[in-house]
Amino acid sequence: MFEKLLSSAKFGPWELNSHVVMPPLTRNRAQPDFSPNEQAPLYYGQRSGAGLVICEATQVSPEATGYPRTPGIWTKKQTALWREVVDQIHAGGAKAVIQLWHCGRIAHPDNQPEGCYPIAPSAVKPKMPIYTDVSGGLTENPTPREMIEEDIRGVVESYRSACQNAKSAGFDGVELHGANGYIVDQFASSNTNLRTDDWGGSLEKRMRFMEEVLKAMTSVYDPACVGVRLSPYGKFNEIDDENPAAKYEAMLRTAEEAGIGYVHIIRPVVSGNIQMKASALDGEVIDTARRIFSRRVIGAAGYTPQSAEAELQAGRVDLVAFGRAFVGNPDLVERIRRNVPFAESDEATFYTPGSKGYADYPAAT
């Protein structure tokens, strides 16, 4: 029934046991020092039935942090714990990728290591509130400090250093978080990048940051083992570009020119953690990726096993990611194989601390 979806896949340099991807899922369960929590190896190992496991968005440096309890990969301890995660993913037969993240202006000092403060392409304050454990609820976002040239160069280098740590941890590849209104998206978007220097203004200049970061990442990893996740037409975290179609195409061209192995496209049916209405754009963004990007495409957001199989059979995508379903279904691939219905994932525990709703979901009997 799902012949293509469940068959082995050649994905660049990797031989995968299926065409199923576990995408990066933020779970807000990191330790106080931003290390993965002690159950992370178990959690990811349970889900290693996927062909490719992309670990949750992981901050590249202390100042890259933005939310409470989210992991980093800038210290030896963090890297060592990620090694334990990778070992469990590999033991289950999957390849392991880590998504590298800088929150930019979507951040609060309460959620950052001491001495840090949010930075961004421009000093554009988010109107929406942000959650902090210190306040115990939503609180006002500060106005970020506009990055100077030294800041930008430092952030680019932090991606290079994070890639070196990821390689030390044994990750097969790395994925740039270019979606959902974080720093790459902030540089690319006209409403959050008001700069008039070489890092802003024209669309071409707004792409420069993504270009430089990808150069840094591919200086450590073979370009075939590097990807980028994009959220075309998404408005999560108040991104509102003057020409979203042109911006999306420019980001795809930047990825193409960087020679990286894949693009990971979030269809507009999902915006951040919010389910949207399906539209013609869901197909259009995949078609656009195929038209501009010459290598591999991962489709994400709103897929069922049936629609994933159809997209794969038609050659529209190379792999398909199942997001929320992987939270409550650690054995998701086996459930597809046996045609067992997916269990419900408890949204109330998606982002809460503690073990409940994390590694305690049972496999189907």
Encoded tokens for 101: 């993240």
Q: Is 239 in contact with 182 (CB distance < 8 Å)?
A: no
Identify residue 169 by its one-letter amino acid code.
A
Separation between Cα atoms, residue 5 and residue 29, nearest integer Å = 31
Determine whether 182 is an active site residue. yes
Run of H or E residues at 298? strand 296-300
Encoded tokens for 97: 């990728």
Active-site annotation holder among 43, 182, 262, 358: 182
Separation between Cα atoms, residue 19 and residue 240, nearest integer Å = 33
Separation between Cα atoms, residue 175 and residue 163, nearest integer Å = 10
Specify which residues 266 forms β-bridges with. 300
Identify residue 311 by its one-letter amino acid code.
E
Specify which residues 275 forms β-bridges with. 270
Query: Which is nearest to 155 in space by CA: 195, 184, 191?
Result: 184
Question: Catalytic residue numbers?
Answer: 182
